[in-house]
C-alpha cells in the first residue's frame, strides 16, 4: 500500500474516533458546481473530480462516475484547491492575560510538551478553515513543530500538510534583549550563531531533528548577518536540498538576504521600490505577513493607536507596491496571538481584508494563497491545484472567491489527501 494510503487510512480512523464525519472509499466522485483554477484565475462549471487513494485521477465535465464510487454533491458550491499559509507558528499562543502579550515571556512559561498540544489545536483549526498546507516557521520551543508534523503525517492528529523550520537561527540574542546574568535565555527557541562553525552546527542540528527548511533572523539586533553569512547558510542548507527563509525587518536586511539568494523574505516591512525590484529580478519570494490593525494591537503591545495605524499602512503600501512591481508573493499570516471568539484559522482569514484594502485583485490573492505558495514550498508537483496526479486537497464554499475574496471565510467542505475532514451539510 502506498504511504499516502496508509496515512489516509490512519487519519480516517482517528477522525472516526473523534466523531468526525468521514467519507473514505476507493473512488470518490465530487460533483462541483463551479471549479476555480487559481493559476489561471478562471472558473469552470459542472465539473466532476475523481479521487482514488487520496490522489486526483481525473477532472472534467461529463466524466463518467465509476460504479460503486462515493459521490459528494457540491453542485451548488464553488470548489477549489485547499489554501496555504506560508508563515505560521502553530506551537506559539501569546496570551496577554497570562504573559503580557510578549512572546519572550511565552517562551519562558510554556514548555515544549504544552507547545506541542497548542500546535495540535491550532493545526486542527487551520484545517477546518480550509488551510490544507502550511509552512511553520519556528518559535516552537525544542522542536515541538517537528513532533506536530510527524503526528499529522502519521494520522495521529488532524492538520494541514506541514513544513517546519525547527529552531530559528539568529545572531546572538535572536529577537530578544537578554541580560548579562542570564545569557542563555532564549534557548531552545533560537540558535544563537555568529561564526561559520556555529551556523553550520545550527543548520545540521535542525536537519537532524526534523526541520524541512531553514529559518534565519537577519536583522533584529544592531549587528546583522552579512551577505556572505547568509550565502553560507543558503549553500549549507542546499547540500541537504533545503531552502532558506529570511526574517527581514529593515531595508539593509532585505538587501543582504536578496544578494545571498534566499528563497523568501519574511515580512520585508521596509522595502523601497528599488529593493522590491531586486527581489523580483532574483526570483526571491516575499511572504509579507501584512498585519491587520487588530493583529498589530495584539502582537506589538505598547503602541499607540496612531502607531498601530501607521504600521498597518506601511504594510499595505508595501503590499500594493510589491504587487505593482510584480514581486513573486506567497500568503503568510504570522498569527501568534489568541483572541476570544476566534480560532487560529479564523484569525488567519481576517488577513483577507489586507488584499482588499491594498486593491489586490481577487485572482492574484488566490494565487498567493495556492499556486505561488506551492511553488515557494517546492510542492507544485504534489499539491496546490486540482489536476490529475496531485493530492486531493479540496475545499468548497457557497460564494465565488474570484468575485468576492471574503467568500473564503465561508468554507464548509474540506478534503485533505482524499479524506473528508469537514462537510457542513
Residue 51, pLDDT score:
98
d(CA 190, CA 143): 11
Compute CA 331 distance to the chain's CA centroid, rounded to the nearest angstrom.
7
Residue 324, pLDDT score:
98
- Which pTM value belongs to this model? 0.93
249 in helix, strand or coil?
coil
Q: What is the 3-state secondary structure (H, E, C) of 383-425?
A: CCCCCCCCECCEEEECCCCCCCHHHHHHCCEEEECCEEEEECC
What is the DSSP-derived secondary structure letter of residue 265?
E
3-82+385-423 homologous superfamily: Urease, subunit C, domain 1 (2.30.40.10)
| Interhelix angle 305-325/273-282, nearest 10 degrees | 50
Residue 23, pLDDT score:
46
All three cell numbers of 389, joined, read 496526479
392 and 51 Cβ atoms separated by less than 8 Å: yes
Residue 17, pLDDT score:
44
Where exactly are the structural domains of the chain? 3-82+385-423, 83-376
Residue 245, pLDDT score:
98
Residue linked to cell 516552537: 140
The number of CA neighbours under 13 Å toward the Cβ of 25 is 14
d(CA 409, CA 412): 9
Cβ within 8 Å of residue 343, ≥6 positions away: 125, 128, 129
CATH tag, 83-376:
3.20.20.140
Q: What is the pLDDT along the chain (425 residues), one digit of tens a residue?
A: 344 444 544 444 444 444 444 444 589 999 999 999 999 999 999 999 999 999 999 999 989 999 999 999 999 999 999 999 999 999 999 987 777 778 777 888 889 999 999 999 999 999 999 999 999 999 999 999 999 999 999 999 999 999 999 999 999 988 878 888 887 777 788 999 999 999 999 999 999 999 999 999 999 999 999 999 999 999 999 999 999 999 999 999 999 999 999 999 999 999 999 999 999 999 999 999 999 999 999 998 889 999 999 999 999 999 999 999 999 999 999 999 999 999 999 999 999 999 999 999 999 999 999 999 999 999 999 999 999 999 999 999 999 999 999 999 999 999 999 999 999 97
Residue linked to cell 512572546: 103
277 and 297 Cβ atoms separated by less than 8 Å: no
Amino acid at each position: 500500500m502506498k504511504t499516502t494510503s496508509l496515512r489516509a487510512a490512519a487519519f480516517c480512523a482517528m477522525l472516526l474516533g473523534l466523531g468526525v464525519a468521514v467519507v473514505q472509499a476507493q473512488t470518490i466522485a465530487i460533483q462541483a458546481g463551479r471549479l476555480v483554477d487559481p493559476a489561471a484565475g478562471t472558473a469552470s462549471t459542472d465539473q466532476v473530480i475523481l479521487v482514488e487513494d487520496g490522489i486526483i485521477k481525473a477532472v472534467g465535465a461529463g466524466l463518467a462516475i465509476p460504479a460503486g464510487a462515493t459521490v459528494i454533491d457540491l453542485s451548488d458550491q464553488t470548489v477549489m484547491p485547499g489554501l496555504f499559509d506560508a508563515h505560521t507558528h502553530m506551537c506559539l499562543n501569546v496570551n496577554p492575560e497570562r504573559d503580557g502579550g510578549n512572546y519572550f515571556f511565552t517562551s519562558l512559561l510554556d514548555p515544549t510538551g504544552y507547545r506541542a498540544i497548542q500546535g495540535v489545536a491550532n493545526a486542527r483549526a487551520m484545517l477546518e478553515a480550509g488551510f490544507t498546507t502550511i509552512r511553520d516557521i519556528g518559535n516552537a520551543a525544542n522542536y515541538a513543530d517537528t513532533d506536530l508534523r510527524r503526528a499529522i503525517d502519521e494520522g495521529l492528529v488532524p492538520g494541514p500538510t506541514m513544513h517546519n523550520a525547527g529552531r530559528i537561527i539568529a545572531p546572538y540574542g535572536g529577537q530578544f534583549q537578554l541580560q548579562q546574568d542570564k545569557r542563555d535565555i532564549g534557548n531552545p527557541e533560537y540558535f544563537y550563531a555568529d561564526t561559520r562553525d556555529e551556523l553550520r552546527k545550527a543548520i545540521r542540528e535542525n536537519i537532524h531533528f526534523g526541520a524541512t527548511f531553514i529559518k534565519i533572523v537577519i536583522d533584529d539586533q544592531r549587528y546583522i548577518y552579512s551577505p556572505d553569512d547568509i550565502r553560507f547558510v543558503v549553500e549549507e542548507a542546499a547540500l541537504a536540498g533545503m531552502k532558506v527563509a529570511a526574517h527581514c525587518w529593515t531595508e539593509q536586511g532585505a538587501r543582504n538576504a536578496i544578494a545571498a539568494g534566499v528563497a523568501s523574505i519574511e515580512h520585508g516591512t521596509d522595502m523601497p521600490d528599488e529593493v522590491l525590484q531586486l527581489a523580483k529580478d532574483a526570483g526571491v519570494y516575499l511572504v509579507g505577513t501584512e498585519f491587520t490593525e487588530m493583529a498589530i494591537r495584539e502582537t506589538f503591545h505598547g503602541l499607540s493607536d496612531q502607531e498601530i495605524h501607521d504600521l498597518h499602512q506601511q504594510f499595505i503600501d508595501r503590499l500594493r507596491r510589491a504587487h505593482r512591481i510584480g514581486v513573486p508573493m506567497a500568503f503568510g499570516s504570522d498569527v501568534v496571538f489568541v483572541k476570544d471568539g476566534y480560532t487560529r484559522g479564523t484569525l488567519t482569514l481576517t488577513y483577507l481584508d489586507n488584499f482588499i484594502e491594498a486593491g489586490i485583485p481577487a485572482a492574484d490573492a488566490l494565487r498567493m494563497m495556492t499556486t505561488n505558495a506551492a511553488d515557494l514550498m517546492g510542492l507544485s508537483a504534489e499539491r496546490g491545484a486540482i489536476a490529475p496526479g496531485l493530492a486531493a486537497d479540496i475545499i468548497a464554499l457557497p460564494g465565488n472567491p474570484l468575485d468576492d475574496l471574503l467568500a473564503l471565510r465561508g468554507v464548509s467542505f474540506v478534503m485533505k489527501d482524499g479524506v473528508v475532514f469537514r462537510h457542513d451539510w
